[in-house]
Structure 1
Amino acid sequence: MIRRLIDRIVLLSGWRRCGLAFLVGALASFALPPYDFFAVSFIAFPVLVWLLDGAVDNAGKSPVRRLLPAAYVGWWFGFGYFVFGLWWIGNALLVDAANFAWAIPLAIFGLPAFLAFFYAFAAALARLLWSDGIGRIFALGFGFGVAEWLRSFVLTGFPWNAIGYAAMPVPVLMQSSVIVGLLAMNVLAVIVFAMPALYGGRQSRIAGLAVALILIAAHVGFGLFRLSTAELKLDGPEIRIVQPSISQDLKWDAEARRDILDKYLAMTAEKPGEGKVKPQIIIWPETAVPYILTKTPDALNAIADALADGQTLLTGAIRMEEPGGGEEPLYYNTIYAIDSHGQITGAADKVHLVPFGEYVPLENILRKIGISEVVELPGGFSAASVRRSLEVVSGFTILPLICYEAIFPGEMSYQGAPANAIINVTNDAWYGDTPGPYQHFRQAQLRAVEQGLPMVRAANNGLSGAVDPYGRIIDALALDAVGVIDVQLPGRVQLLWGEGIHQFQFTVVLLAVLIVALWYFLRSRRRVG
């Protein structure tokens, strides 16, 4: 019965083949937060393999045209995956529906249609190395590995919902990222997820089962071992995370500014709960302060009045820089450090801006046809040239990540003193009660594991929380909750490899997988010859 089903899948053509690819791509998205039903990947990827088995049209045509059927399958798989995984982005455009409702179809379908080309490339590249049995599984892992690597930097990059996250839904399964990193995990996850495709054939079933079991055992076993031997010292400062859940349509309302600031100040001044001590550092979310602080001394004075002696506030705000000479001011998405005297003691600007959210690509062309960024400022935001660590209090330095900077594992290098913690401030109120905030939190959680640093995340409406260097949640607030969390941070942990080694590890894994795929491909060609 299963054999007949597989044969029917392989023999599908036209819209039926593309339609099934779309459906299994959509199914694969349910392996992501908040569902975390990773078992669906063991269905989606085998079906993708069988669809690619049948993607052999255009015989006798040019090499590129021979790969088009596979590319179509990969594109439809990716389109289903990204539509169902990223539909929530359209919610951000409802905040100012009068100006941006027209762009909702572009957000829900246009962005997934573009991202699907990476998976079209993955399928075509895999099909180029296709062979019988287990070789094609390694070819698929290689194709997706290259595609996800390209997705991490092409056109500024957007590695959101990389396949590897489906293999790391809980802390025990996150520990392997310390060894291989997310990019290599993308390769290995696809290989393991696709192995059930061998059930339908006689070749390589035992070898495939062995490879899958070895990788799964290593993945789970290392996680169990690392967590069982984890030792943490609570020697970091006491931190308060403030989550006010300000409605997005009020954040930039001039009449609501003072009420918003007062709400932050009141939550900052709340007494610690039973058994808690006064926090040394208070953290507000991204763009929490509804003023240009350097132009509003009254706001700084109000902050100073709310802070106890010795306390420091870390807050997101817009920073304005006036170049002079009649030039337009520059605006930065910034984290400020403010002491109890109302003095700004440090600042860190966002490095990786959101296209169309904070700036307009090809600005000279697109602005002429009426396209602007969602957060509209004269000229948009400017980006910092480098990421710098920020000393908050004596002996405590942070790695500042603003909003979606936390999704880029390859961009965690920075200048300055070694960091003691990651601070991720964000405003996910744009996306409402959708999968977006859960996906964002998970990706930030993985950065803590990869960097061996505790991570504190302050989000306007959630998910806010503190995570230890092993990815375990110390405490958190639910989506749309209003409240504060007081936590003491643990110290950093020693990593197995030095900084930057994950790119090398990815290269080694990718080359090893390519060698296996090539060996089976060449062996199948010799057999045919």
Structure 2
Amino acid sequence: MGRDSIPVANRWLSTALLLLAGATQTLTFAPFHWWWLGPVSVALILLCTVTLPAERLFRAGWLVGLGLFGSGASWVYISISQFGNTSIPASILMTAFFVAGLALFHGIAFWAWGKLAQVSKTRRLLLFPAIWILGDWVRGWLLTGFPWLYLGTAQVDGPLAGWAPVLGVHGATLWVVALGLSLYAAAWLLQQKRPKVSLATLAAGFLPWLAGPALNATSWTQVSATPISVATMQGNVPQLIKWDPDHLKQQIVTYLGLTEDDWQQDLILWPETAIPLTQDQAGPIFDHIESRLGPDSTLITGIPWYGFSDRLEDFTFHNSIMALGNGEGMYHKQKLVPFGEYVPLQQWLRGLIGFFDLPMSDFSRGPQHQSPLVAGAIRIMPYICYEVAYPDFVAMNARAADLLVTISNDGWFGDSIGPLQHLQIARMRALETGRYMIRGTNNGLTAIIDEKGQIATSVPQFTATTLRGEARAATGSTPYMATGSWPVLTLAAILIVFVREREIPAIS
């Protein structure tokens, strides 16, 4: 393919359009919710890349990733600069490395796309959705993963929401990319004076979008008619004093005060590390809580755990959540945030800059296959902060639960769009599993999410307040809970093998 075959021949214009296409995807997510821009972004990417020589596709993909993560994930700057005791120049540099590093996933995926499809335009079009899905999946697990900003997540508010309980977020992403592909292909086929094929291609792209609302009307799980009364406390504790010993008592008093009128609720939820003491130091606080709780009430709180781990054969810290009162159980966080909860290569990085010495950044990963918490007769699967972003992890653990809970401290990200995206991700997990999810946070967004991923009730950010509402237990499983992402990933792999092993008739 020569240079004259590139739809956008001007390299500078192509660069600008690829960055724009990536940034446009950020607008599909909260707080913008312009989900319809997803296919538009994909079509624009194809316009700039589908006939590029294979050796130039890595750069093209990297530019798309740069636009996406530079606009949609650069909120990490706030935690590095404001709370990481790091200078502004160093914070900017570290944020740039973070964004550029994440963009490499897109670059590598596009490079693989070119290598697998070679020069055939038809093969490239057929392979593009499969490559996109597999690229997203790899990004979600490699080096602990960054399962953020998947195009399908925005569809919790779009027509493809009904596919989430069936195929999960990767399935929704597949249909977004497929529609973008069909938009590009239909326009190209029309240009080639093949209107019937163009129309058929466009219709095929829209079919999953038309089926989505009907699927969304399906009830995959059985939601109890008996409500569970819920109170969730949002303490709005400033991040800068969170681990200051002089302010520990003040934080406990804040949460006790917010709970004063709600000790009789069925379920009371305090957020991540609401008790800023390890469990072996918090005995008097537990005793006070137990003395105030009603006989049928359960309080679930985030708290650091310290003790000897038989699994690790050493004393260690865990970021944990536990149940008190008419409940029991302790859960240790499994998906830790690099640099926030543990420091990779810490023997070399500790002490270099303040960001590598954040308070409580020496947690150990909890064991796999932990049991849910119990509140009365209700089984509750908890997820701490970042864990709720992992779709297969949430779905697998939700099988043993009637209700989901996620606690977080998004104070690390200030008034950026990060916490708003985090809430949207939690909504997608509720939709995928057909279960209510209660989200308790330090400074917002605290919410009760129903089994369709819709917010039943919430309270404003950056206020010390109590959310009161109702949740409902659910039984049964969605198809996605039973299979995880494997059907979509298998389909992508089969498509790659099929297209690679057969002669594809040319359409150009």
Scaled by the length of structure 1, what TM-score is found? Answer: 0.85
User: How far has the Cα of 1:221 moved from its partner?
Assistant: 3.0
State the distance in 2 between where 1:271 and 1:372 align.
Answer: 38
1:143 alignment counterpart = 131
Q: 1:422 aligns with which of 391, 401, 404?
A: 404
| Structure 1 match to 2:203 | 210
Match of 1:89 among 57, 76, 84: 76
Q: Which residue of 2 aligns with 1:190?
A: 177
Residues 1:285 and 2:271 are matched in the alignment: yes
Q: 1:251 to 1:187 in 2, by over 3 A?
A: same
Q: Which moved more, 1:451-460 or 1:308-317?
A: 308-317
Structure 1 regions of 5+ residues with no counterpart? Answer: 1-5, 57-66, 273-277
For 1:315, what is the secondary structure of its paired residue? strand
Contact 2:28/2:37 (<8 A) preserved: yes
Q: Is contact 2:381–2:405 with CA below 8 Å preserved after alignment?
A: yes
Deviates more, 1:421-430 or 1:314-323: 314-323
Q: Which amino acid aligns with 2:242?
A: K
Q: Give the Å deviation of 1:79.
A: 0.6
Aligned residue number for residue 226 of structure 1: 218
Any conservation in 2 of the 1:131–1:521 contact (CA below 8 Å)? Answer: no
| 1:523 equivalent among 486, 502, 505 | 505
- Report the Cα offset of residue 97 of structure 1: 4.9
State how far apart, in whole Å, the 2-side matches of 1:416 and 1:207 are.
40
Task: Indicate yes or no: 2:16 matched with 1:12.
Answer: no
Distance (Å, rounded) in 1 between the aligned partners of 2:177 and 2:436: 29
Shift in Å, 1:418: 2.3
What SS does the aligned partner of 1:359 have? coil
1:374-423 Cα distance to aligned partner (Å, 9 max, x none):
6434x710111214233333311111100010000121366799211111
Q: Structure 1, residues 255-276: CA drift from partner, whole Å, max 9, x if none?
A: 221111111001111259xxxx
1:404 maps to a residue whose letter is Y
Residues 154/498 of structure 1: CA separation in 2 closer, same or farther (3 Å cut)? closer
* Distance across 2 between alignment mates of 1:438 and 1:387: 29
Between the aligned partners of 1:97 and 1:372, the Cα distance in structure 2 is 4
Alignment pair present for 1:30 and 2:16: no
Look up the match of 1:403: 385
Among 119, 123, 141, which residue is 1:153 paired with? 141
Alignment match, 2:372: 390
Q: Which residue pairs with 2:489 in the alignment?
A: 507
Deviations along 1:13-70, one digit per CA (max 9) or x if unpaired, are 2x443232112211221111111112323332222111113422xxxxxxxxxx2211
User: Structure 1 residue 308: deviation in Å?
Assistant: 3.4
Q: 2:260 aligns with which of 269, 283, 289?
A: 269
Query: How much identity, in percent, do the aligned residues show?
Result: 23
Q: Of the candidates 321, 338, 341, which is equivalent to residue 358 of structure 1?
A: 341
- Aligned counterparts, 1:72-471, within 5 A: 72-99=59-86, 101=88, 103-127=90-114, 128-129=116-117, 136-170=124-158, 173-198=160-185, 199-200=187-188, 201-202=191-192, 204-223=197-216, 225-226=217-218, 232-270=223-261, 278-322=264-308, 329-339=315-325, 345-367=328-350, 369=352, 373=356, 375-377=358-360, 380-412=362-394, 418-471=400-453
Change (3 A) 1:153 1:97: closer
CA apart distance, 1:87: 1.3
CA distance in 2, matches of 1:242, 1:396: 20
Distance change in 2, residues 1:169/1:518 (3 Å): farther
Letter of the structure 1 residue corresponding to residue 29 of structure 2: L
Cα separation, 1, equivalents of 2:403 and 2:356: 31
What SS class does the counterpart of residue 331 from structure 2 fall into?
strand
Structure 1 residue matching 2:505: 3-state secondary structure: helix
> Match for 2:290: what amino acid?
A
Q: 2: distance between equivalents of 1:138 and 1:323? A: 50
TM-score (norm 2): 0.88
Letter in 1 for 2:344: P
Contact conserved, 1:266 with 1:306, CA < 8 A, in 2?
no
Which one-letter code corresponds to 1:149 in the other structure? Answer: W
RMSD between aligned residues: 3.0
SS in 2 for 1:412: helix
**Is the 1:126–1:142 contact (alpha carbons within 8 Å) kept by the matching residues of 2?**
no
Tell me how many residue pairs correspond in the alignment: 496
* Deviation for aligned residue 1:367: 2.9
Secondary structure of the 1:522 match is coil
Preserved CA contact (<8 Å) 1:400 1:424: yes
Q: 1:51 to 1:464 in 2, by over 3 A?
A: same
> In the TM superposition, what is the alpha-carbon distance from 1:518 to its structure 2 partner?
4.7
Q: Report the Cα distance in structure 1 between the residues aligned to 2:480 and 2:16, rounded to whole angstroms.
A: 45
Structure 2's unaligned 5+ residue stretches are none
Answer yes or no: is the 8 Å Cα contact 1:11–1:54 preserved in 2: no
Q: For residues 316 and 107 of structure 1, do their structure 2 counterparts lie closer, same or farther at Cα, with a shift above 3 Å needed?
A: farther
CA gap of 1:210–1:374, structure 2 versus 1, over 3 A, is farther
Q: Paired residue for 2:56, among 54, 57, 69?
A: 69
Which residue in 2 is equivalent to 1:3? none
Asked if the contact 1:89–1:107 (Cα under 8 Å) also holds between the matched residues in 2, the reply is: no
Task: Measure, in 2, the Cα distance between the counterparts of 1:132 and 1:460.
Answer: 53
Would the aligned equivalents of 1:313 and 1:339 in 2 still touch at CA under 8 Å?
yes
1:10, 1:53 within 8 Å by CA — same for their partners in 2?
A: no
Distance 1:164 1:336, change over 3 A: same
- Does the aligned pair in 2 maintain the 1:386–1:415 contact within 8 Å? no
1:62-120 residue CA offsets vs partner (Å, 9 max, x unmatched): xxxxx221111111011111110101111112333534655422453212211111111
- Offset of residue 364 of structure 1: 2.8
Moved more, 293-302 or 313-322: 293-302
Contact 1:420 1:453 in 2 (8 A): yes
SS of the residue 1:18 aligns to: helix
| In structure 2, distance between residues paired with 1:508 and 1:415 | 22
